[in-house]
Amino acid sequence: MSDKGIFITGTSTGVGKTHTAVVLAKSLTSHGVKVIPRKPVESGCDFENDQLIPADATALKHAASYEGLLSDVCPYRFRQCTSPRRAAFLAQQVLTTQQLADVCRTGADQGFLLVEGAGGFYSPLSEDGLNSDLARELGLPVLLVAQDVLGAINQVLLSAEAIKNNGLELRAVILNQVKGYDMPDSVSNLEELHPLLDCAVYTQPHSDNIGDNDMPADLIDLLTK
């Protein structure tokens, strides 16, 4: 297993986790880091040419300029748009945390392992575990993504406590700014979270074009140290 890597999780589903993972993969690659992208399971996949295509994993593969197969990145794919655990159950398939961990570990010694979970840190992931169980099995430091909205502080602190209680290092928090959301002028999640956390906190400006975004150089250094 690689001694370099990150596990990307969110405070909930739909907070911009994949967007952050793609920007990070692209930024690491542009800084000369060989990225091994893994999103071992993805639900809500569409059919194309009689096969399920994982959109998030596909975006990760392209962002990392990964030369391996898409099936290396994401071998477990489901049609139903629900948690992977539920989607696997509906598809009458058995999916275990060990299976997902094995996918992440395969080839991990070839570069920087970037693993994206599915949903929030405590979201159901497999028949026998949550995202937290996969993160704990891999033992990677964690990058937590939250929407930069009113209420984010509570969500981030709860997730940070859960990550710590699982014996994992929270390396950084990304506050993903939401398109069309007007934050009250009096609110700054970034400023308020800094003294409440023992890790770095960053904001990620919204852009419809991922190519316009790049992770700060100090965050790249922090994640790859």
**In the beta sheet, which residues pair with residue 7?**
115, 142
pLDDT at position 120 is 97
Nearest to 17 by CA among 180, 201, 174: 174
Q: Does 1 have pLDDT greater than 60?
A: no
User: How many structural domains comprise the chain?
Assistant: 1
CA–CA distance, 49 with 150 (Å, rounded to integer): 42
**How many Cβ atoms sit within 10 Å of the Cβ of residue 214?**
15
Residue range 46-70: average pLDDT? 96
Higher pLDDT: 181 or 19? It is: 19
Residue 178: domain span: 5-223
pLDDT at position 3 is 59
Which residues does 201 contact at the CB level (< 8 Å), separation at least 6? 172, 173, 175, 190, 193, 194
Residue-level length of the chain: 225
CATH code of 206's domain: 3.40.50.300
Number of H helices, E strands in the chain: 9, 12
Q: Does 192 have pLDDT greater than 60?
A: yes
Q: Which residues are catalytic?
A: 39
pTM: 0.95
pLDDT at position 79 is 96
Phi and psi of 184, rounded to 5°?
Answer: -55, 140
The mean predicted confidence, pLDDT, of the chain is 94
Q: Does 2 have pLDDT greater than 60?
A: no
* Range list of β-strands (E), the chain: 5-10, 35-38, 41-42, 46-48, 51-53, 76-77, 112-120, 124-126, 129-130, 142-147, 170-176, 200-204
| pLDDT tens per residue, range 212-225 | 678 999 999 999 98
pLDDT at position 211 is 59
pLDDT at position 212 is 64
Give CA 135 to chain center in angstroms: 11
Nearest to 37 by CA among 129, 110, 146, 134: 110
**How many Cβ atoms sit within 10 Å of the Cβ of residue 22?**
22
pLDDT band at 87 (very low <50, low <70, confident <90, very high): very high
Looking at the chain, the whole-number percentage of residues with pLDDT higher than 90 is: 88
Higher pLDDT: 33 or 184? It is: 33
Task: Name residue, tokens 């316009």.
Answer: 212
| pLDDT tens per residue, range 140-190 | 999 999 999 999 999 999 999 999 999 999 999 999 998 878 788 888 999
CA–CA distance, 194 with 112 (Å, rounded to integer): 27
Q: What SS3 class is residue 46?
A: strand
